[in-house]
Structure 1
Amino acid sequence: MGSKPKYDRTFVEDHLSQYGYKLKSEYKTAGTPMLVECANGHIYQTRFQNFYHRKTRCKVCQGLGNYNTKEELIRKLKENNCEYVDHYRDPKIKRTIVKYICSCGGLGESRIDRFLLGERCTECYAERMRTSRKKGKLERMEKLISKSSKEEQ
């Protein structure tokens, strides 16, 4: 004879509602994946044991990624002066890859989390490297000049 589950559907729904969340799929056990909707309407997959014990919440609302809708991707790109082209799921790394036209006009392709950390197209990357190298050279030259002027005095 099987034992009664520790958390039944009513308990789970009540607990989720205390935090403004709704159960959007079937509930089986605390360790089984289920769909949950946060107060802002983001739907994501979690396990009740993670929600209850580890206090995991909506990653989108926490700013941790997992942009599930095309509209959210487009909004984030526009906020960074980029234009959405396409996106796809890379099965090797299990991440969403976004193709976009960068603010500089170059074609970019990167993971959305890396884009949000500042990664841009190869043209912007190359320009950033050129700029940082020039800056480094200037700083080294200024140090040498100031060092030699101090030695002369």
Structure 2
Amino acid sequence: MRLQALALLVSLLLIVHSVPTHINRNSAFIRGKRDWINNCGNSSFHNQSSEGSPAVSDCQQITTNIAGGRTWTVWALNRTSVHSTNTTTVKFPSIYYRKLASYGTCAFGAYSQDGGARVGTSDIIDLINDSINRFQWSGMVGAKGSMKCQSLNYSDVGVYWAIYHT
């Protein structure tokens, strides 16, 4: 009985000794998990490209700049949504959107329909790249849309987003 207890104690000590005491947050595995943060589902897309839109190259630079991984929180506005009217004729003022990222002439902003919502790095990168692929015109791109994103209590909430000129 004593031999079994001693063997168990030695085994436990070896296990505890082998557990890492420091996590390398810069390891390729950890960085890979952190770099690809996706908090939102599929999105609608509405073309807003015009001669007043931001440069495609500036919007592409945003995707490079934010590639390190992050989640932003956006909040609801205390006003009627600009998207509740005819989306083909309404100009969307950038003041309604929380600017999440910008570079040069290009900004990406969002606001939630109701309460706090999370928007991740890959959400923004995908929306910018998809908008460029769909709507670029004469080196310019502008777009807006809506999607469901994870709320602060892990349910889904509507989020409106836009790519607009700074």
TM-score normalised by the chain length of structure 2: 0.20
**Structure with larger Rg:** 1
Report 1 or 2 for greater relative contact order, CA contacts < 8 Å, sequence distance ≥ 6. Answer: 2
Q: Which has the higher helix share?
A: 1
The structure with the greater share of residues assigned to strand is: 2
TM-score (norm 1): 0.22
